[in-house]
A and B are shown apart, each in its own frame.
Chain A
Amino acid sequence: MDSFGAFVRDRREALRQTDRRYSLRQVAERIGVEPSYLSKVERGEVAPPSEETIVRLARELDVLPDVLLALAGKVSSDLLDTIRKRPLLFGQLLRELRDLPDHAVLRLVREVRDGDW
């Protein structure tokens, strides 16, 4: 899971350049883990933390939780619940979407309907 740790470190360091509150120690404190543990996570020496910690870390680093979870090889529990409700349908859907370009996938997103005004 090197990519997860490296991403977290790069993002945190980038933020730290303009704001010292993004030191390893302070970020660890804010997300409720030991600095030594976060350091190991960033170096890829331990597996990524739990989903809850990853979501807290994502908020802290201002990245989408789904992105950080995906880098950690995880899927958020709400997405898992969604798939579990209709496993065949969503399995098939995701496989079909796999190779589509981004703009085609975006067409499936529910749009806010504009009416007459």
Chain B
Amino acid sequence: MIELQNDALVFRFPEVHEDAVLRIEFQRTLRIPDDDRDYPLPPGLGRFPLAHVDDFADRVPGRWREHGGVMLPMYQSEAMWLSFNSPDGYPFAVKVATGKVNAATGEPWATGLNRDPQDYLSIPRQPWLDGYCVERGIIRQFVAMPLGAGYTAEEQITGEAAHGGLQLAAYPAKAEVYERMKRRRAEIHRVVASPMVVFECAGSAASDMGLAPGGRMQQEIYEDPYKAADWELGATSRCFVHIANSLVWRQITGDNPPTVPPTAAEYQRAGLPWFRWYGEGETALPGGGRLKGLKSIFNLGKVKGDVPLPENTSVEPGHVVPLGNGVVREGSF
């Protein structure tokens, strides 16, 4: 079951284990420059508001009602990252797609879990996802673009603007796998005597947004440390997250969308931190596949003779904070 709680999606599988709880948040962030340089992780600037599509059934496109799920507002060319948190460290396999194109492999949305190439993220090992895994250790940032303009990963890969939004599916590990892990953790706990660190629009097509590949960022998608048989494939929950243009969000919900986030240059001038995450001893997925052929928004704009990004000044991130041991990836502006 999936519940909407304080602007987060909370997946629970009480039939599998009482600790099988996964929280997914959609973080506002600044858009990194789309200039083919590799940037560190930008901050989280707070959560996007989420609403049940059903609560505004008379004001959203018919397709959204069919899909069900939730919706959130994004400005055109605004960026986002997803944070994953399993409070008790319960393992989950999470599939993320945009426009029904898998963000780890570029393959079309499919049920079940594929290990070669791995088409899911292994939680809690993977604390967040900022974009499409275009090569080993590099992602291209998720950036909102209007569906139909040709920039989204969906349109570049499938040639169609059929779905938009973001799709998620979570599979919990089998209860016995978790119990075994918990016992091992308790043993380690006793030896080191320190607590474990838990990573922690109304009606028209113009309102519908999809995600497109933006600038390059250093982020690894980790190989699944579990065996295929460790996942409880019989238990899964999935959710369609619709993206409404922020300007239409007010018409749909009556609420103001969040303010426009700062540009990377403004953030940098304010001397605020960027982040770097070191996964210890973890293997990163090679990425690429169909995602390798994606053109970034800026590069595709050049081909089209278009200027799709309002601001794209390169920056030199000076203050980069290494993450781990409870340091939170948040900024304030």
Determine whether the beta carbon of A106 is less than 8 Å from that of B69.
no
CB pair A111–B1 under 8 Å, yes or no, is yes
Known: A14-B195, A18-B195. A115 touches B52 (CB 8 A): no
Residue in B9, B70, B326 whose CB lies within 8 Å of A19:
B326
DSSP majority for the A interface? loop
Which of chain B's residues have a CB closer than 8 A to the CB of A14? Answer: 195
Q: Among B65, B100, B195, B238, which residue has its beta carbon within 8 angstroms of that of A114?
A: B238
Q: How far is the CA of A17 from the CA of B194 in the complex (A)?
A: 7
Indicate whether B239 reaches chain A with its CB closer than 8 angstroms: yes
Q: B315 within 8 Å of A by Cβ? A: no
Q: Which residue on chain B has the smallest CB distance to residue A117?
A: B67
Number of interface residues of B (CB under 8 A): 31
Return chain A residues, CB-CB under 8 Å to B100.
Answer: 117
Given A15-B326, A18-B325, A102-B18, residue A115 in contact with residue B67 (CB < 8 A): yes
Q: How large is the interface on A (under 10, 10 to 19, 20 to 34, 35 or more residues)?
A: 10 to 19
* A114 with B3, Cβ < 8 A, contacts A14-B195, A18-B197, A19-B325 known: no
**Chain A residues at the B interface, C-beta cutoff of 8 Å:** 14-15, 17-19, 62, 102-103, 106-107, 109-117
Q: A103-B18, A106-B12, A115-B66 are in contact. List 4 more A-B contacts (CB 8 A).
A: A109-B1, A113-B52, A113-B53, A115-B240
Q: Give B contacts to A, CB under 8 Å.
A: 1-4, 9, 12, 14-15, 18, 52-54, 65-70, 100, 163, 167, 194-195, 197, 200, 237-240, 325-326
Sample (26) of A-B pairs whose CB atoms are under 8 Å apart: A14-B195, A18-B195, A18-B325, A19-B325, A102-B14, A103-B14, A103-B18, A107-B1, A110-B3, A112-B2, A112-B3, A112-B9, A112-B68, A112-B70, A113-B53, A113-B54, A114-B2, A114-B238, A114-B239, A114-B240, A115-B65, A115-B67, A115-B240, A116-B67, A117-B67, A117-B163
